[in-house]
């Protein structure tokens, strides 16, 4: 998790997307939970291609939702150095994220979670939806087969919902909320 936070800090620093603008009143916020429920996307009737982001404000929205404190430990500093030395890697990952990041931030905000969590796929898969680890974790959120089944993500010869951005995001946020309830800390979750 510490490396995740380091990556999040570096992403925001490198993004440089500081622009101005206001979010509409129906956007989920910490102070408006009723708007959060109304703004949730119905996963049955939606696709990622239909969710459009006001990109000029997204990074401001992400930074404004930060809730986790920097750890400032050696592992975090090493991750910052590694990412700083690879701006092309960060740029490619951020370009891939542009298709999904607004939706993920919207869902994170709807659940009143720290927006750092929306950047977790950067660390897990570099926003590659078909990523597969040697341990058989798959997708944007890198679900292991058993964990995916635990969160009702279909995995068969025809379909693997661990690769589905909408389904896996919903499952990942459910999982992170479960871990937060169990450990009482977003850092531990």
107, 116, 124, 161: the active-site residue? 124
Question: Would you call 116 exposed, middle or buried from its count of C-beta atoms within 10 A (0-12, 13-18, 19+)?
Answer: buried
- pLDDT by residue (tens digit) across 21-73? 444 434 444 444 444 444 455 555 555 545 445 556 888 989 999 999 888 88
The answer to whether residue 187 is catalytic is: no
Task: Give the whole-angstrom CA distance, residue 44 versus residue 47.
Answer: 8
0.85 exceeded by pTM: no
- CA proximity to 176, closest of 134, 129, 125, 116: 116
pLDDT band at 76 (very low <50, low <70, confident <90, very high): confident
- pLDDT by residue (tens digit) across 131-142? 999 999 999 999
**Residue 113 in contact with residue 37, Cβ under 8 Å?**
no
Strand residue runs (E) in the chain: none
């Amino acid at each position: 998790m510490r490396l995740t936070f380091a990556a999040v800090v570096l992403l925001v620093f490198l993004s440089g997307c500081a622009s101005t603008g206001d979010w509409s009143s129906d956007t989920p916020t910490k102070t408006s939970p009723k708007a959060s429920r109304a703004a949730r996307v119905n996963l049955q009737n939606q696709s990622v291609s239909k969710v459009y982001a006001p990109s000029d404000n997204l990074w401001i929205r992400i930074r404004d939702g930060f809730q986790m404190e920097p750890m400032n430990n050696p592992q975090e500093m090493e991750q910052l150095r590694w990412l700083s030395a690879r701006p092309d890697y960060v740029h490619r990952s951020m370009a891939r994220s542009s298709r999904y990041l607004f939706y993920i931030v919207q869902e994170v905000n709807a659940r009143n979670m720290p927006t750092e969590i929306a950047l977790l796929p950067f660390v897990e898969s570099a926003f590659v939806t078909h990523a597969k680890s040697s341990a058989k974790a798959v997708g944007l959120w890198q679900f292991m087969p058993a964990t995916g089944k635990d969160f009702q993500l279909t995995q068969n010869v025809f379909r693997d919902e661990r690769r589905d951005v909408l389904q896996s995001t919903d499952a990942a946020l459910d999982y992170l909320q479960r871990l937060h309830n169990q450990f009482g800390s977003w850092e531990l979750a």
